[in-house]
Amino acid sequence: MNGPDIAGRMAKLGALPTLERIAGEYGVTPQSILSRRRTASIARARSRFWFVLYSTCGLSYPELGAMLDRDHTTVLSAVHKEERLARERLGL
């Protein structure tokens, strides 16, 4: 998907506020989350973004991957990591 497709899809899902909130929490820009950059802070924010969309929007791993031009296994790994971190934060 190219830029306008991503923006349109996220707007349709109501994901833009989520993207902006997560970017702010991690001190990165929304554009950096959507980019190919892989610094630790950006990758962590991107993982969190995927996790939130997966949890709240019911999108599949392939759909989430296509949204940011990533393989579904990358999204799967990121979502599983976020689930594990959430369990650890809750002491489960």
Which DSSP letter does residue 36 get?
S
pLDDT at 47: 96
Question: Topology of 3-90 in CATH?
Answer: Chromosomal Replication Initiator Protein Dnaa; Chain: A; (1.10.1750)
pLDDT in tens, 19-68: 999 999 999 999 999 999 999 999 999 999 999 999 998 889 999 998 88
Rounded to an integer, what distance in angstroms lies between the CA atom of residue 76 and that of residue 71? 9
pLDDT, average across residues 57-83: 93
1-25 residue pLDDT tens: 445 577 677 777 788 999 999 999 9
Report the alpha-carbon distance of residue 66 to residue 7 in Å, rounded: 13
32, amino acid identity = S
Give CA torsion, residues 46, 85, 89, 23, to 10 deg.
0
> 20 CB contacts (<8 Å, ≥6 apart)?
30
